[in-house]
Chains A and B, each alone.
Chain A
Amino acid sequence: MLKTFKFGGVHPKEEKLTAGLAIQRLPLPKKVILPVAQHIGVPAMLAVKKGDLVKTGMLIAKSGGFVSANIHAPVSGRVSKIAERIDASGYKSLSIVIETEGDIWEESITLDQPFQAIEALTTAELLLKIRTAGVVGLGGAAFPTHVKLEPPAGMKADTLLINGVECEPYLTSDHSLMLEKGSEILKGTSLLMKVLKVQRAIVGIEINKPDAILLLRDLAKNFQGIEVEPLQLKYPQGSEKQLIQALTGRMVGPGALPASVGVVVNNVATAFAVYEAVAFNKPLIERVVTVTGKGVSKPGNFLVRIGTPIKELIEAAGGLPEDTGKVILGGPMMGKAISNLKIPVTKGMSGIVLIQEKEASRQQVMPCIRCAKCVDGCPMNLEPYLLMMISEKGMWEQAESNHVTDCIECGSCSYTCPSSRPLLDYIRTGKSKVGKLIRSRQNSVLTDKQIPI
């Protein structure tokens, strides 16, 4: 019996159209747009001005605090604008626009000669390299990696989990990365192990990627303490708490950090970025993005520079199909639908899914028949039907006492509901209202800012 997480879960149709396809390198974009807030935490602070010349890999925005990350120029060229640009959140945010002039790399980046003395580096040196390179979680949340690698005082990690689950339908960027850069991922993993001072790492991969499991198992023989664990096919296994439960049996309490149970989780793509940062001093300026969809003529996995407008990516995949009704950044379960194609690729974007018009609309909402499928499907063991009801009525205190803030917004409830009820829409509203209530109780001042998403 393969391992999986304990509560709930659904099994969406996989639709992995691009599984096993080789990673293609996208030609340099004409211009790149880099929002200074493309990670969780404090936005980065501008380090360039309009008109500056930058080289590929040069620091253009400096980490704005502990929970923040550096941003580097993904191409060489001239900073043409520093202005508000619409980003993946659907709102405008401050962005740096660079007109591409070429691809001249910073001298400190040694792509040809991997850094030889990796073994000799101390933990602090490794951590500094990772932090300098602006590595963030590449699975989707874009949480700064160096923060994860320094658990708060009193917490000690004993296991590192590497997330190769990729449970979202359609997406295959991690899969193709595992097939092509398996040994680099494992090298990155052992670096992360060294930073965290743990003896054990487990790479969790869902059983629908048998080639990746076999390959990594084979490669892992050369590494001490790295195991590869196949997992049952179940969504949302790639969610941090669910993955920890599946692989180690430990449960992270509500609101607690994974480190509280001695675990740190990183994505395979993050492990790869860590390896590159340490071995080549290469900052995080490119990533693998899957462009897919049923109507797409040449779907594929593309290695692109961060900041590339997604329009160019879609062009590379054969252009926008006529019947596209919806464009999703990320997977169809948790991704964000967007309204135009000027939005740039950000660090946390793992895929672009183009949904055909006939599948883009929701079905008619029917009354709740209390079938309890949402309760059975909730991976956090909540009662989505109830949370929706009380959020709809605005009973925020009740929503709080029913743990609406535990919701991980995986969408299993809305997916499984036979009445096509918009459970998650309401729960999300409730979650943000309750979050505000809790914050206002903690006496923080509500400002004229948009609700963070």
Chain B
Amino acid sequence: MSNLFTVSPSPHTKGDDSIPKIMWSVVIALVPVILMASLFFGLHSLKIMVVAVVSCLLFEYTIQKYILKVPTTIRDGSAIITGLLLAFNLPAGLPVWLVVLGSLVAIGIAKLSFGGLGQNPFNPALVGRVFLLISFPVQMTTWTANITVTDTFTGATPLMLLKEGVKSGKSLAEITTNSQMPGYFDMFWGNMSGSLGEISAMAILLGGIYLLWKKIITWHIPVAVLGSIFLFEGVLWMAAPDRFMDPVFHLITGGVMLGAIFMATDLTTSPMTPLGKVIFGVGIGVITICIRNFGAYPEGISFAILIMNGFTPLINAKVKPKRFGGK
């Protein structure tokens, strides 16, 4: 017998899932968002997305090859997703060097310094975005005109309009009738000012349905985030309709959709058990609404996700699945 049999422990068969397959499916799910971003922001958006993806890949390759001296993992597609998600969180008019800097922070600090794929406690794209937001607040909140909105040059996001309006003592009715404030249908379709990827709730939902269909994410986190935002804001709105916007407004403005479907569901930084995922999602929803209504920033989803990322190990340690037949 020339060739020896292989002996290994069971199971002797393996499913089709693999990391590249998951990552590329996420990239496919992001395609509608890419299309909507290019539709509304034109070449600006393409430039930012390309720069972010290329610099993420480049940083990952360089750091792994020359600093960490480990095999490079740029082929698994995870750096592409980080790049795309980072780009989706940036305004279309951001200078290119800031995009590169954000990518360096996302890949170098948030991902590789913790050990690379699967080891990062915080969502790399969000770390990149929050780093830029805190360090370069002016550039990060300068929204280039949305090309199809004809009457503005620097369209403020609906959430900024809301926050500034409230700060200057305007009533909600005045704010919502502001000519800059888009209607709900426009917001859902994507015809509003904002970061590249967050404008079109519809495109994000399409991607989310694809991810659910491919079983890459489960329904728990998106439903928990959106549901808790809807409920919490709904309660506030019912209690004081003259102080708080209605829940639908909060669902379709800003980064809530993008955050709930693509950022919070990041496999590595979200909890493992279904109940843990629900707790995680509710935490994000509640913190987001708190920041939006009571905090200094108009938008809070990225902070909320990062805060809950920090709680993920605790949730994993405390929320255990109920074992079969156990009490």
Contact = CB atoms under 8 A, between A and B. Distances in A.
A251 B325 contact: yes
A272 interface: no
A383 B117 contact: no
B167 interface: no
Contacts of B325: 241, 251-254, 256
Contact of B267 (A335, A360, A372): A372
Interface in A241-287: 241, 245, 251-254, 256
Interface residues of A, number: 69
B272 A12 contact: no
A355 B117 contact: no
Contacts of B273: 372, 375, 383
Nearest to A353: B12
B295 interface: no
A428 B11 CA distance: 12
B268 interface: yes
Contact of B14 (A245, A363, A366, A403): A363
A409 interface: yes
A369 B10 contact: no
A386 B319 CA distance: 13
Interface in B15-49: 15, 17-19, 21-22
B324 A326 contact: no
Given A254-B326, A381-B321, A376 B218 contact: yes
B119 interface: yes
A415 interface: yes
Name the prevailing secondary structure of the B interface residues: loop
A155 B273 CA distance: 35
Residue of B4, B116, B118, B270 with highest tally of chain A CB at under 10 A: B118
A427 B116 CA distance: 25
Interface in B271-327: 271-274, 316, 320-327
Interface string A370-385: 1111011011111101
Given A12-B13, A403-B326, A414-B14, A326 B7 contact: yes
A332 B13 contact: yes
Residue of B15, B17, B19, B76 with highest tally of chain A CB at under 10 A: B15
A97 interface: no
15 contacts: A12-B15, A253-B325, A254-B324, A325-B5, A338-B7, A339-B5, A360-B6, A360-B12, A372-B267, A381-B323, A382-B321, A406-B323, A415-B14, A419-B18, A422-B9
Interface of A: 7, 10, 12-13, 90, 169, 241, 245, 251-254, 256, 324-328, 332-340, 353, 355, 357, 359-363, 366-373, 375-376, 378-383, 385-386, 402-403, 406, 409, 411, 414-420, 422, 424-425, 428
Interface of B: 3-15, 17-19, 21-22, 76, 115-119, 216, 218, 267-274, 316, 320-327
